[in-house]
């Protein structure tokens, strides 16, 4: 969301991450601003018994991990490359300097944080209701609006695995599979050779 040229002007460097490589870890202090050039990144937590919760998935041109950067707090989650990804890293001080010298960027950051807060609010309310069908459908509809789902003749292709949907909604895979089938039976989405369309 910040022009790559501007980031580079302030000293941002490109770094590549292999599939499943860790970009930063929960508990560490932030040192950089991160913006994706290509690929896909997830932020997630692992609880005591190894179960994953995905906070969010980010794609090209998106940034991630800013909140702790602004607050001088430890990262509340890990950032992991889902695919091979190229990311621009700008050291914290340079980033703050960039913001200071380019006030219009502040508004961009505000809008971005506002957007993410909005998503979390909607999902939090949805997740508290406990009904799997609600949770899954809300996630899918949010994904259509904000992730890069593509539309074809069958509708929007939801390119998440059942496992990812589970990790994003706090449900188990089996429950997601059954829920998706139930939603299909109700005509709320389509399953065409295992792929989900809405």
Partner DNA sequence: TCCATTTTATGACTTTAATCATAAAACAGC
Partner DNA sequence: GCTGTTTTATGATTAAAGTCATAAAATGGA
Residue 110 binding: pick among DNA, a copy of itself, none (C-beta 5-8 Å cut-off by kind): a copy of itself
CA distance 67 to 75: 9
Stretch of residues binding DNA (CB under 7 A), selected from 30-38, 60-68, 144-152, 167-175:
167-175
18 lines the binding site for DNA (CB under 7 A): no
Q: Which is nearer to a copy of itself, 86 or 133 (CB)?
A: 133
CA distance 149 to 170: 21
Q: Which is nearer to a copy of itself, 30 or 39 (CB)?
A: 30
Site string for a copy of itself, 110-139 (x = CB under 8 A): xx-xxxxxx-xxxxxx-xxxx---------
CA distance 58 to 11: 23
Q: Token pair for residue 142?
A: 């949010």
Interface ranges with DNA (CB under 7 A): 19, 130-132, 161-163, 170-175, 177-178, 180-181, 191, 193-194
Interface ranges with a copy of itself (CB under 8 A): 45, 47, 51, 53, 55, 66-71, 73, 76-77, 99, 103, 106-107, 109-111, 113-118, 120-125, 127-130, 169-170
């Amino acid at each position: 969301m910040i022009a790559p040229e501007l980031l580079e002007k302030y000293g941002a460097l490109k770094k590549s991450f292999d599939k499943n490589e860790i970009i930063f870890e929960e508990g560490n202090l932030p040192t950089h601003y991160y913006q994706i050039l290509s690929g896909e990144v997830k932020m997630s937590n692992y609880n005591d018994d190894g179960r994953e919760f995905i906070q969010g998935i980010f794609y090209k041109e998106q940034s991630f991990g800013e909140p702790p950067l602004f607050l001088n707090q430890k990262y509340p989650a890990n950032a992991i490359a889902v695919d091979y990804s190229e990311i621009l890293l700008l050291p914290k001080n340079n980033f703050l300097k960039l913001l200071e010298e380019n006030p219009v960027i502040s508004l961009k950051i505000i809008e971005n944080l506002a957007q993410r807060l909005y998503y979390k609010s909607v999902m939090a309310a949805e997740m508290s209701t406990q009904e799997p069908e609600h949770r899954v459908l809300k996630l899918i509809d949010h994904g259509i609006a904000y992730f890069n789902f593509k539309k074809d003749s069958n509708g929007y292709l939801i390119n998440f695995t059942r496992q990812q949907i589970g990790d994003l909604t706090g449900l188990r895979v089996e429950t997601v599979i059954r829920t998706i089938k139930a939603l299909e039976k109700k005509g709320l989405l389509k399953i065409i050779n295992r792929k989900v369309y809405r």
